[in-house]
Amino acid sequence: MVDQHTTTAIAQIVFYVPMVPITSYMCYRNWKYGPRMAWYPEIPFSLLRLIGGVLTLFHERDKNNRLLIIVTIVFLNVGLVPLIMSFLGIFRLIKKFHIFASVVRYNIFVAIGLLTVSGALAATPDLAQVQAVLSKIADLQFACVLAALISACCLLYFKMKDEIGDSTMIYLQWILIASPPICVRTAYGLISVFEASGDNMTTSMWSPLFGSALAFSLLALVPEYITLCIYLFLAGHRLRTAKRCGLERRKTREHNSAQEHQNIDDGERSVEYVELR
């Protein structure tokens, strides 16, 4: 009989196989409209989830392979990172708080560095305690980054709505709708890293690989997929509106530029005519 983790892995593969080309297409079409950080993280996220499902199936066939266990857990746990990066990218589309965005981006990259070091130490049993501490710090940092972004979005929506244009209000509204699912995913990640690390990795119900597959599905995979669908909806809206507005602006700029050159030429001819007379 197929166990729950195998079923979950198969569902991951089925749902994310079409997402890889869809996210790639949306990123390619929106690349020239920007902001690029809003669209390209969905590609590695879909790939991570797809590869995570495949690795889980391999683990079910070889449950004693320690290296495979470590790699699979890493792939199952890093899904939150690209989602937060896309959140920041969409936030920059709404309002360009340059200093705030720079600080948030710096903290994201620091947390990614901590996760990278933590993953590298996972294969060293002697440094398991250091690895666990680095993972906890990184996840707490991601949670703080997400809290700051959601707080900034709430501030814009409830206190500074008049400063948001009608064309960008839809991004703010939908990013707030995406906030509860991504908060649920963050909460699961925090519980997992604190309760299912070290000696508890194979016994805790919060382990994505050894724990409850139902909890992992409902508290991690489903919220992630909802968030990804919202991002793709906004990417499609950006493609429709930015393409139309961009072409209109480009034509307007070309017309205005041609008119300015024409006025300059007419002025120069008038000056030359006056000087000749």
Q: What is the CATH number of the domain that holds 9?
A: 1.20.1070
Counting every residue written for the chain, the total comes to 277
What tokens appear for 82 in the block? 């690209």
Residue 73, domain member (yes or no) = yes
Residue 249, domain member (yes or no) = no
Q: How far apart are CA 238 and CA 246, in angstroms?
A: 11
- Over the stretch 125-184, which tens digit does the pLDDT of each residue have? 677 788 788 888 989 999 999 999 999 999 999 988 888 888 889 999 999 999 999 999
Q: How far apart are CA 253 and CA 207, in angstroms?
A: 56
Residue 268, domain member (yes or no) = no
Residue 275, domain member (yes or no) = no
Tally Cβ neighbours within 10 Å of residue 88. 21
Contacts (Cβ under 8 Å, ≥6 apart) of 127? 121
Q: Closest by alpha carbon to 67, among 3, 124, 10, 114? A: 124
pLDDT of residue 252: 43
pLDDT of residue 34: 78
Residue 272, domain member (yes or no) = no
Q: How far apart are CA 39 and CA 6, in angstroms?
A: 30
The residue behind tokens 């649920």 is 184
Q: How far apart are CA 196 and CA 220, in angstroms?
A: 15
pLDDT of residue 165: 80
Residue 112, domain member (yes or no) = yes
Q: How far apart are CA 25 and CA 5, in angstroms?
A: 30
pLDDT of residue 180: 95
Query: Which residue stretches of the chain have pLDDT < 70?
Result: 1, 122-123, 125, 198-199, 243-277
Q: For the chain, how many structural domains are there in total?
A: 1
Contacts (Cβ under 8 Å, ≥6 apart) of 161? 169
Judge whether 94 and 168 are in contact, CB under 8 Å.
yes
Q: How far apart are CA 8 and CA 217, in angstroms?
A: 7
Residue 87, domain member (yes or no) = yes
Q: How far apart are CA 186 and CA 111, in angstroms?
A: 14
Residue ranges making up the domain that contains 219: 4-239
Residue 257, domain member (yes or no) = no
